[in-house]
Amino acid sequence: MAAMSLDPRLNVHSGKSQHGVILEEIEGLIRVYKNGHIERPPIVPNVTSAVRTELNLTSKDIIIDKCTNVWARFYVPNSPLRLPLLIYFHGGGFCVGSASWSCYHEFLSNLASKVGCMIMSVSYRLAPENRLPAAYEDGLNAVLWLKQQVMNGQSVHHLLSQYDLTSLFLAGDSAGANIAYNVAIRLESINLNPLFIKGIIMIQPFFGREERTGSEKLMTQPVHSALTLPASDAYWRLSLPLGANRDHKWCNPFVKSDVKSGGLKIVHIMVCISEMDILKDRNLQFCTAMANAGKRVEAVVYKGVGHAFQVLHNSQLSQTRTHEMMSHIKTFISR
């Protein structure tokens, strides 16, 4: 697996450029100007849907909503079996990322092949041009689009012909895990029949709060960490509704009755936590709250690795932990 390096160092300053004053910058990822101009340097290459022959997959990009330009990349193992389907949302603090980013294409194509599942990787609208709840709406519409395809007997170029309707999972990493959780909440009042959501897979879920946790305050991050505390704060400022702080319900799920009372009807939840991640303590708190609400929570802590290790592959250890994660996901969806 190819190694990648992100350097999300935050700068909030009055630097000048041809677009004027820079309001916020997560270096190498996004630059926001006072005049409204937004730049996203191509730090990660976008790639086509082509996959390695040895993975024995079919992959194809499909438009979901022409009005919003939301689309999905499908990964379908060439298998005669009925397969579970993961609807996957990529990370990137709601502000950067794409289903066509090479790191996600590699991770998800390998995941589909090794786990033996279909994956629908959704490329949703980004903030700050489209602040939350835009990403949640796109995620919800992706699920409803899938239902409509099944109800109409459409197989999306035969990609869905082997999908097991009773084995649908919502999944994502970082901000994508946050999206998966909030989409699941929105689906509570919707009749999805004949689809059935069996569980949620949340990899390093991106939550926050005004009050800091121990890992946020004390976890030392390397210079090239995928998520630093200043970068995390910047992502929330750029993605939450204007005027909201980190105690908004979309950032801090503990202010919502869904966590406190177990309002989320989906029972099976897998949470993948990185030992060296600033989000570690917050992820553990989330697991405890969901377990106390009666959910069956499988929390796995991956030792010695940080945020987004499964897509960065910046060490031999991270590659080892990624293989472990894929094995854990396979076990989870097979139950």
Q: Do 180 and 171 meet the contact criterion of CB atoms below 8 Å apart?
A: yes
Task: Assess whether 174 carries a catalytic annotation.
Answer: yes
Give φ, ψ of 318 to 5 degrees: -65, -35
State the catalytic residue, choosing from 90, 105, 307, 313. 307
Point out the catalytic residue in the list 174, 239, 274, 318: 174
Q: With contact defined as beta carbons under 8 Å apart, do 98 and 104 qualify?
A: yes
**Interatomic CA distance for residues 260 and 253, integer angstroms:** 9
Q: Examine the residue annotation and report whether 277 is marked as an active-site residue of this protein.
A: yes
Question: Catalytic one among 138, 258, 277, 281?
Answer: 277
Task: Report how far apart, in Å, the C-alpha atoms of 74 and of each of 86, 160, 163 are.
Answer: 10, 9, 12
Question: Annotated active-site positions, please?
Answer: 174, 277, 307
